Structure 1
Amino acid sequence: MKPFDRRAFLGMSSLALLSPLLGGCARAPKSPKGTIGITLTSKTEARWVSDGNNMVRALTGMGYDVDLQYAQYDVPVQLSQVENLVAKGVRALIIAPVDGTTMITALRQAREQGIRTLSYDRLIRGTADVDYYVTFDNRQTGVLQGKDIVDKLGLAAGKGPFTLELFSGSLDDNNAHVVYDGVMSQLKPHIDSGRLVVRSRQLTLNQTATSNWDGALAQARMDNLLSAFYTRQHLDAVLAMNDSIATGVVSSLKSVGYGTKDNPMPVITGQDAEVPNVKSIVRGDQTSSVFKDTRALAVTAARMVDAMLEGRSVPVNDTRSYDNGAKIVATQLLQPVLIDRSNWKEKLILQGGFYTEAQILG
């Protein structure tokens, strides 16, 4: 197989990829090709609502009916949704699992009914009955986050020592594990050398995990860390694995006086480039976020499902990396991009129209 070029996807025009499906729903065939069942984690994060809407538009544009449901981070609810979709006779399932380890029985039942399954952005684990996976290169997401801390603090130039705390994602989400590996590939050498000092000594994924990527939980943990370890010392950097976590971290820091000339905000990373967080970056509260064009992810998922059901070759570019414990799941990876105050307008507005300037500055 031709080696996977991690930059190849970025070389494609986002508008060329997206416009035929997201903008062409009026051309949908009159006779649907069956129903696609979708269950996503929750409506509490704007990105999942956007993902769901974009998949519905893309799939209806291809001639499918769509049954879209949200589990609200409730595992039994999501399992019931999958079972009901199977009972309704959907042709395929697109699942962003709340807990990637809980789908074994439900997907066995789907397979017995001839229903195909695509794991969407969170890997379904422990079963061979998942056909394909579509996600972003999550290790690269972690690399970008870790490298941004290294660059912003000047660690490669020998500056330091600096203080750091880590806020990882949810343990039941495989992405958190993969992102963590990428993060530590950049930060661990500087932690080992003493240029980065984690005063809490909370370093492992288990110690730094944030259940359900919950910003309120991140805020409470940051409150505790600040009172225990940073009453007399400035915190210089926070690895926040996504934007909801970053929001909680920022709120905690500002509540104790960070964000002034004499007490500046730490370097704070994020992921998803959600509107409130891009505004936070523009204000100078949050430092950066990793942007993932979820419109492209939704369209890619729709194309993969259509290829599966129509008997065409399914586009994948990684057949080695994603072992779910029962099989290597063939995967289509999309590439993330770091955004900060220097490039947010170029990446989010001018290049792909993901947001309007009024959404960010209005």
Structure 2
Amino acid sequence: MSHARRFIAGRLVRVAGGAVLAGTLLLAACSSPSTPSSSPTGGGATSGGGGGAVVGLVTKTNTNPYFVKMKEFAQKEADAEGLKLVALAGQFDGDNEGQVSAIENLVSQGAKGILITPNNSSGILAAIKQARDKGVVVIALDTATDPADAVDATFATDNRMAGELQGKWVKATLGDTAPKLAMLDGTPGGTVDTFRHEGFLTGMGLKEDSPEIVGKENTNGDQNKAQAAMENLIARSRDINSLYTINEPAARGGYQALKDAGLADQVTIGSIDGSCAGVQAIKDGQIGATVMQFPGLMATDGVKAVAAYAKDGTKPSGFNDTGAQLITDKPVSGLDSKDSAWGLENCWG
């Protein structure tokens, strides 16, 4: 936490107004795949705060390392603030019904605030509105709702900027070589997926219909699906020299397909997440660069906001950027980056 805090204080790239370029996960986040939890609402976690106000944390699952890190930091901050943390989760990534039940559960427990990583940007809006109508402050973590003002505030990565950083690095690494780009996207319609995709194209200086784009495939952020999708893209063209990936599992799947086809050495791969496995893949030469997120800061800052609301009624508002850092062992001029050694010290999962 100390490394990340010092970094956030002094190193994050921001634009006028205090936020990174417009934009934000899931996809996991984060959009990383995860295994199902044992029950639709996961399990509760009570802090040592005893009689303090209840703060709820509702994640997409309780097994994905990204959300495990969120819960860990939320618990630490709840203990420090004298709050009682109740952590619940969906049964699987995309379990909107489980998240709705979790929100209703927390409202019945008298929660003062709820932090949630929405499975779907619009699928739980009715439950969120009911909670807010009863005086509960609701904060989105990692994944923005649609519309954004359906919650009181959002603490997340600026995913449009994260995508743009990935795109700028890929473009700079290609140099004078014209891109022949393949794109491994996430899940259609997700805000995270859309922002990262659009940001990447901006960073590359391309448009949706640019002839430099060889093809696009959806992967749901899953490594196995990404490998199959990459095989399809290779079947269309073996001249691919650059690859956009929605997250690191997709990047690893894409790399494996390229390696199997004997094309790994000719393709520049960029990604987003900042997991320890993803950073290790950079160190091992499988992924060229990734953009690190900070889920621990999302949870910490969210709990702090609920604590302030419980204390004096102060409500958080708007989009609150929790940072993004380019990680690569192949730095390029004009882009601030950290190497894989730094990444492994500050990664999650």
| 1:210 alignment partner, one of 219, 225, 228 | 219
Report deviation, 1:198. Answer: 2.1
Q: Is 139-148 or 174-183 further displaced after alignment?
A: 174-183
Correspondence for 2:239: 234
| Cα deviation 1:131-172 (Å, max 9, x = unaligned) | 111112222101101101101100xxxx23331111222234
Q: Equivalent residue of 2:135, what SS?
A: coil
Correspondence for 1:15: none
Return the alpha-carbon distance in structure 2 between the equivalents of residues 161 and 355 of structure 1: 33
Report deviation, 1:348. Answer: 2.5
Report deviation, 1:286. Answer: 0.8
| Cα deviation 1:195-228 (Å, max 9, x = unaligned) | xx2223x4xxxxx4433x222222221121112x
Correspondence for 1:321: none
| 2:192 alignment partner, one of 175, 182, 187 | 175
Within 5 A, what are the aligned runs for 1:316-327? none
Q: Which amino acid aligns with 1:292?
A: Q
Q: Which amino acid aligns with 2:196?
A: V
Return the alpha-carbon distance in structure 2 between the equivalents of residues 178 and 86 of structure 1: 31
Distance change (3 Å), C-alpha of 1:314 and 1:88:
closer
Correspondence for 1:199: 214
Return the alpha-carbon distance in structure 2 between the equivalents of residues 193 and 170 of structure 1: 21
Indicate yes or no: 2:272 matched with 1:271: yes
Task: Report the identity percentage.
Answer: 21
| Cα deviation 1:214-271 (Å, max 9, x = unaligned) | 22222221121112x13xx332110012112112111222222334xxxx15111111
Gaps of 5+ in 1: 8-27, 203-207, 317-329
Correspondence for 1:59: 78
- Asked whether the equivalents of residues 329 and 339 of structure 2 are also in contact (C-alpha less than 8 Å), the reply is yes
Q: Which amino acid aligns with 1:35?
A: V
Distance change (3 Å), C-alpha of 1:283 and 1:131:
same
| 1:341 alignment partner, one of 329, 342, 345 | 329
Indicate yes or no: 2:123 matched with 1:118: no
- Asked whether the equivalents of residues 152 and 316 of structure 2 are also in contact (C-alpha less than 8 Å), the reply is no
For these two proteins, the number of residue pairs brought into alignment is 300
Correspondence for 1:50: 69
Distance change (3 Å), C-alpha of 1:134 and 1:220:
same
Within 5 A, what are the aligned runs for 1:1-362? 3-6=16-19, 31-71=50-90, 72-73=92-93, 74-126=95-147, 128-154=149-175, 159-189=176-206, 197-200=212-215, 202=216, 208-211=217-220, 213-227=221-235, 229-230=236-237, 233-259=238-264, 264-311=265-312, 313=314, 330-342=318-330, 343-345=338-340, 347-348=342-343, 353-354=345-346
- Asked whether the equivalents of residues 98 and 173 of structure 1 are also in contact (C-alpha less than 8 Å), the reply is no
- Asked whether the equivalents of residues 138 and 175 of structure 1 are also in contact (C-alpha less than 8 Å), the reply is yes
Return the alpha-carbon distance in structure 1 between the equivalents of residues 343 and 148 of structure 2: 37
- Asked whether the equivalents of residues 49 and 78 of structure 2 are also in contact (C-alpha less than 8 Å), the reply is no
- Asked whether the equivalents of residues 265 and 285 of structure 1 are also in contact (C-alpha less than 8 Å), the reply is no
- Asked whether the equivalents of residues 275 and 347 of structure 2 are also in contact (C-alpha less than 8 Å), the reply is no
Distance change (3 Å), C-alpha of 1:190 and 1:153:
farther
Distance change (3 Å), C-alpha of 1:180 and 1:311:
farther
Q: Equivalent residue of 2:271, what SS?
A: coil
Q: Equivalent residue of 1:162, what SS?
A: coil
Report deviation, 1:188. Answer: 3.9
Report deviation, 1:116. Answer: 1.3
Identify, as 1 or 2, the structure richer in helix.
Answer: 1
- Asked whether the equivalents of residues 241 and 270 of structure 1 are also in contact (C-alpha less than 8 Å), the reply is yes
Return the alpha-carbon distance in structure 2 between the equivalents of residues 191 and 82 of structure 1: 38
Q: Which amino acid aligns with 2:250?
A: I
- Asked whether the equivalents of residues 111 and 129 of structure 1 are also in contact (C-alpha less than 8 Å), the reply is no
| Cα deviation 1:282-305 (Å, max 9, x = unaligned) | 111111110122222221111122
TM-score (norm 1): 0.75
Correspondence for 2:35: none
- Asked whether the equivalents of residues 119 and 134 of structure 1 are also in contact (C-alpha less than 8 Å), the reply is yes
Return the alpha-carbon distance in structure 2 between the equivalents of residues 295 and 104 of structure 1: 25
Return the alpha-carbon distance in structure 1 between the equivalents of residues 320 and 138 of structure 2: 14
Q: Is 234-243 or 337-346 further displaced after alignment?
A: 337-346
Return the alpha-carbon distance in structure 1 between the equivalents of residues 99 and 193 of structure 2: 20
Q: Equivalent residue of 1:279, what SS?
A: helix
- Asked whether the equivalents of residues 99 and 172 of structure 1 are also in contact (C-alpha less than 8 Å), the reply is no
Q: Which amino acid aligns with 1:185?
A: T
Q: What is the RMSD computed on CA atoms of the aligned residues? A: 2.7
Q: Equivalent residue of 1:335, what SS?
A: coil
Q: Equivalent residue of 1:124, what SS?
A: coil
Report deviation, 1:190. Answer: 8.2
Q: Which amino acid aligns with 1:283?
A: D
Q: Equivalent residue of 2:183, what SS?
A: strand
TM-score (norm 2): 0.77
Gaps of 5+ in 2: 1-14, 21-46, 331-337
- Asked whether the equivalents of residues 96 and 121 of structure 1 are also in contact (C-alpha less than 8 Å), the reply is yes
